[in-house]
Amino acid sequence: MELRAELGNFGSRDPAVMKAAQQQALQRIILRKLLAHQAREEKLDKSPDYTIQVERGQETLLAQLYQRKLATKITQPTKQEAEAFVAANPARFADRKVMFVDQVIAAPNKIAPERLQPLTTLAQVKALLDAEGVQYQSNAVVLDTLSANPQLVEGVSKLPPGEIFVIPQGGALLFNHVEATRSVPFTGDMAVAYATNALRQQKGQETVAKQVEALRKAAETKIVYNDAYKPEPPKKKTPPGSGAATPNEAASGAAPAPPVPAPDVK
């Protein structure tokens, strides 16, 4: 039981691979138990920090188990719903593409945007970064429209062929160039099965989010804060279109920012 929990969801049809994974997991368990025993010998389990961390770990585990239970109560998607999902998302299925992308990941810098305007290749980007002493890392990734962020896919598809596009990531900038694109349609029963699973996850996340929000609202009047940590009253929402988000606000959103051509990066 403990070994199975240590392995998590790992599995292999190859007996040799499975045996090796079990041995690695077993050694981790043994080492952890040895270290835990030694910690108890030194009375570390009596420290305030230990008590706090144990309580936090138990609460985190219970919260995860409860959310998992909520997710299992959803109504399973029907075949018709899955087929409709496939039809409504052609970029992920019938028109699916795999893009091979070369990247230059530049560290935060103060290069003026107008100096980026003439750049049309990653080689030119590297030359400018070298001249300014800005550290960067070359990289290559595969962008699959089946699983990539839809906003990102839509933005890339609207760019002229060969156009460099930039994705802000924290304080860094990712300069990207699509080196090659391959059409890989995803259709038939396998696509429907994939869509069914995607809908199941989506419904599960929505159900959990609604239940958690309801739970939080119901408990609001019962929560007592220390005056030093009492949250400020919520600010009134700004009507749409009344102001533009700052670059930092735009970059901190949950979804990746849509790609922009290099000349327009700010």
pLDDT tens digits, 182-223: 999 999 999 999 999 999 999 999 999 999 999 999 998 899
Across the beta sheet with 136-144, the strand order is 136-144, 97-106, 172-183, 165-169, 260-261
| Mean pLDDT, the chain, whole residue set | 86
Q: What is the pLDDT of residue 247?
A: 36
pLDDT at 119 over 80: yes
CB-CB contact of 98 with 181 (8 Å)? yes
Alpha carbon distance 44, 46 (integer Å):
5
- If one counts every other C-beta atom within 10 angstroms of the C-beta of residue 109, the result is 15
* CATH topology classification for 97-184: Chitinase A; domain 3 (3.10.50)
Q: Which two tokens stand for residue 231?
A: 């949250």
Residue type, 173: L
Distances (CA, A) of 39 to 35, 45, 225: 6, 7, 34
The pLDDT tens digits of the residues spanning 12-42 come to 888 888 889 989 999 999 999 999 999 999 9
- pLDDT, residue 259, reads 56
* Top-confidence residue, 144 or 1: 144
User: Does residue 242 register a pLDDT over 60?
Assistant: no
Q: What is the pLDDT of residues 75-91, one digit of tens each?
A: 999 999 999 999 999 99
> 172: left (phi > 0), else alpha (psi -120 to 50), else beta?
beta
8-state DSSP, 111: -
Closest CA to 97 of 157, 141, 167: 157
Q: How far apart are CA 20 and CA 196, in angstroms?
A: 34
Which amino acid is it at 7?
Answer: L
Provide the residue count of the chain. Answer: 266
| Continuous segment of H or E residues that includes residue 69 | helix 48-71
Tokens for 10, please give them.
Answer: 């790992």
What whole-number percentage of the chain has pLDDT above 90?
58
Domain coordinates in residue numbering, the chain? 97-184
